[in-house]
A and B are shown apart, each in its own frame.
Chain A
């Protein structure tokens, strides 16, 4: 597609349940990022994938969070045993290649944990 696609756009889940968020980057974009934005706050870096290199997981807030990416395609962010503080918009971004700074964001998944 023309842009970064994220699904679902909205997710309401009960505390303690697991959720899986999906990101389809722009075709050919080698780098993919996940960010989190809590209401009224800035973007927090979560994880970065670049080609076949080991991902930079330094932003994942706890071991309940994990992410995978198959090659240079789809990525999934999984949150296990969700907590209310996980409520946020989860944004995915991709960029064409190393050295290119044209990050394109998806419209995000709004996660609400009740």
Chain B
């Protein structure tokens, strides 16, 4: 089983739609959680951290369920510029010699005009 699993998509949605991505992780010792965005042939960039209480940044809302080891990202009012691959990311370890980000394979979003 992969450490971080995501639906690869693609998700094809019209502009203005609401779209949700889900992710599960296998390591219960995971400490921190993130969504990264990766544009085609570019490096990943941090979109937002994910907190247990849930958090929102403009049109983006992230949720974490530690009991179910489940993370979600909701994008409201999709824009063409939201088209990208969204990577679910988990931080394994905190301090010491092991402290690394484990990436899901990503979910491809294509927002159509």
Q: Mark B86-113, 1 if CB is under 8 A from A, else 0.
A: 0100010011111111111110000000
Q: Mark A79-106, 1 if CB is under 8 A from B, else 0.
A: 0000000000001010000110111011
Contacting pair B94 A99 (CB below 8 A) = yes
Contacting pair B99 A48 (CB below 8 A) = yes
Interface size class of B (residues with CB under 8 A): 20 to 34
Contacting pair A48 B100 (CB below 8 A) = yes
Interface size class of A (residues with CB under 8 A): 20 to 34
**What distance in Å separates the Cβ of A77 from its nearest Cβ neighbour in chain B?**
15
Q: Which residues of A contact B94 (CB under 8 A)?
A: 99
Instruction: Tell me the complex Cα distance, A91–B94, Å.
Output: 22
Contacting pair B101 A56 (CB below 8 A) = no
B103's nearest neighbour on chain A, judged by CB, is A43
Give me the interface of A with B, judged by CB distance under 8 Å: 31, 33, 35, 41-43, 45, 48, 50, 53-56, 58-59, 91, 93, 98-99, 101-103, 105-108
Give me the interface of B with A, judged by CB distance under 8 Å: 32, 34, 42-46, 49, 87, 91, 94-106
17 chain-A/chain-B pairs, Cβ below 8 angstroms: A33-B100, A33-B101, A42-B104, A45-B102, A48-B99, A48-B100, A50-B97, A50-B99, A53-B97, A54-B97, A56-B97, A98-B99, A99-B94, A99-B95, A101-B49, A107-B42, A107-B43
